[in-house]
C-alpha cells in the first residue's frame, strides 16, 4: 500500500470514528430520529453536488426499490440504533462494539451465501463473543436494563450493517459505488420522512449540538464516503476493509480526549480479544484451501494419527 493510500485509510478511520463523538454530543438535543434525518439529508445533498460537479452519471431509477431496502439496512436502521444507544452508553464503548460487524457478516455469509465455516473462523467467532462479554461485564457503565438495551441496539446495528453487505452483494453487485451511497442516503430519508415529523426537537438545540450534526453530515458521511470510493478504486475492497480495525481506536481516543470518557482495562482487553477474533474471521484463504469445519477437524485428527503411527513404527524398529 502506498503512503498516500495508507494516509487516506487513517483519515477515513478518523472520520468514521469521530461520528460516535458527534452523535454523543448531538443526540440528547435532537433525539435519534431527527439527528439521523439531518445527517442523511446533509450527506445526500453533498454527494449529489459532488456528482454534479465531477459530472458523474447517476441512474438510480432501475435500482430504486433495492436501494430503499439497502437504505433501511445500511443507513436508517443502524444510524437510529447507534444514536439511541448513545443516549445511555459512551461514544467510546459504542465505537468498540461496532468492531463486531465482521462476526455478523461471517454468520450471514454462511447462512445466505453458502460460505464455508472453517475451524479458524469458528475460533474467531468464539473470541468475538468472549471479547464482547468482557467489555460488557467489565465496563465503567452500570449494568442496568437501559444499558443492556443500548448494548443490544449496538449489536443490532452491527447485524444490520452486515446484512446490508450481504444484500448488496446479492442484489446490487453491478451498481456503481457512488450510486449506492447517494441512493442509500435518499432511501433513508424515505424511511425517516414520516417519523421525523413527529419526533423533531421541541426547542432549538444548542450551538454545539448543531455543529456536531453539521460535522456528522459533512465529514463523517459525505467526505468519508468520497474517501471510501477512492480507496476502493485504488487498493480494492479487502485492504479497504481494514478500516474496521482502526475505527474503534480513534472512536475511543476522541471520546477520551473531547468528552473525558474513561478508557478501562476491560474495554482495552475486550477490544484486543475482539480484534484477534476479527483477524481470524476475516482471514482469507486461497480458493479451495479453507477447510470446512468438519473437514478441518478431520484433518487435525488424520495428522495426529499419522504422527502416532510414525512414532509407533520408529520405536518398533529401534
Q: What is the pLDDT of residues 15-56, one digit of tens each?
A: 999 999 999 999 999 999 999 999 999 999 999 999 999 888
> What DSSP string runs through the chain?
--HHHHHHHHHHHHHHHHHHHHHHHHHHHH-HHHHHHHHHHHHHHHHHHHHHHTT-----GGGHHHHHHHHIIIIIHHHHHHHHHTTTS-HHHHHHHGGGHHHHHHHHHHHHS-----HHHHHHHHHHHHHHHHHHHT-SS---HHHHHHHHHHHHHHHHHHHHHHHHHHH-TTS-HHHHHHHHHHHHHHHHHHHHHHS--SSPPPHHHHHHHHHHHIIIIIIHHHHHHHHHHHHHHHHHTTHHHHHHHHHHHHHHHHH-----HHHHHHHHHHHHHHHHHT----TTTS--HHHHHHHHHHHHHHHHHHHHHHHHT-
Divide the 318 residues of the chain into consecutive groups of 10 and give the mean pLDDT of each group. 84 93 96 96 93 86 92 94 95 87 80 74 80 70 86 93 84 83 92 93 93 95 85 69 77 89 80 80 50 36 42 48
pLDDT of 129 reads: 78
Residue 270 is predicted with a pLDDT of 80
Amino acid at each position: 500500500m502506498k503512503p498516500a493510500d495508507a494516509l487516506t485509510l487513517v483519515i477515513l478511520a478518523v472520520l468514521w470514528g469521530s461520528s460516535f463523538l458527534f452523535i454523543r454530543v448531538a443526540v440528547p438535543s435532537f433525539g435519534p430520529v431527527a439527528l439521523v434525518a439531518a445527517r442523511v439529508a446533509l450527506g445526500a445533498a453533498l454527494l449529489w453536488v459532488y456528482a454534479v460537479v465531477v459530472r458523474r452519471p447517476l441512474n438510480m431509477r432501475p435500482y430504486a426499490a433495492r436501494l430503499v431496502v439497502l437504505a433501511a439496512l445500511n443507513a436508517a436502521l443502524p444510524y437510529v440504533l447507534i444514536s439511541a444507544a448513545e443516549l445511555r452508553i459512551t461514544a467510546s464503548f459504542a465505537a468498540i462494539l461496532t468492531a463486531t460487524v465482521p462476526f455478523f457478516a461471517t454468520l450471514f455469509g454462511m447462512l445466505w451465501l453458502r460460505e464455508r465455516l472453517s475451524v479458524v473462523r469458528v475460533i474467531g467467532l468464539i473470541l468475538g463473543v468472549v471479547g464482547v462479554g468482557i467489555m460488557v461485564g467489565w465496563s465503567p457503565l452500570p449494568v442496568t436494563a437501559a444499558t443492556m438495551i443500548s448494548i443490544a441496539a449496538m449489536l443490532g446495528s452491527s447485524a444490520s450493517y452486515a446484512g446490508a453487505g450481504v444484500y448488496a452483494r446479492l442484489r446490487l453487485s453491478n451498481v456503481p459505488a457512488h450510486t449506492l451511497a447517494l441512493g442509500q442516503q435518499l432511501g433513508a430519508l424515505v424511511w425517516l420522512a414520516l417519523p421525523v415529523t413527529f419526533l423533531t426537537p421541541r426547542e432549538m438545540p444548542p450551538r454545539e449540538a448543531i455543529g456536531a450534526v453539521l460535522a456528522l453530515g459533512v465529514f463523517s458521511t459525505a467526505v468519508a464516503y468520497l474517501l471510501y470510493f477512492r480507496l476502493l478504486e485504488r487498493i480494492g475492497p479487502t485492504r479497504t476493509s481494514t478500516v474496521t480495525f482502526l475505527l474503534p481506536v480513534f472512536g475511543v481516543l476522541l471520546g477520551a480526549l473531547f468528552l473525558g470518557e474513561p478508557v478501562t482495562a476491560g474495554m482495552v482487553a475486550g477490544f484486543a480479544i475482539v480484534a484477534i477474533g476479527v483477524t481470524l474471521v476475516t482471514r482469507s484463504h486461497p480458493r479451495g484451501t479453507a477447510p470446512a469445519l468438519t473437514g478441518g477437524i478431520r484433518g487435525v485428527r488424520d495428522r495426529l494419527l499419522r504422527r502416532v503411527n510414525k512414532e509407533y513404527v520408529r520405536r518398533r524398529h529401534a
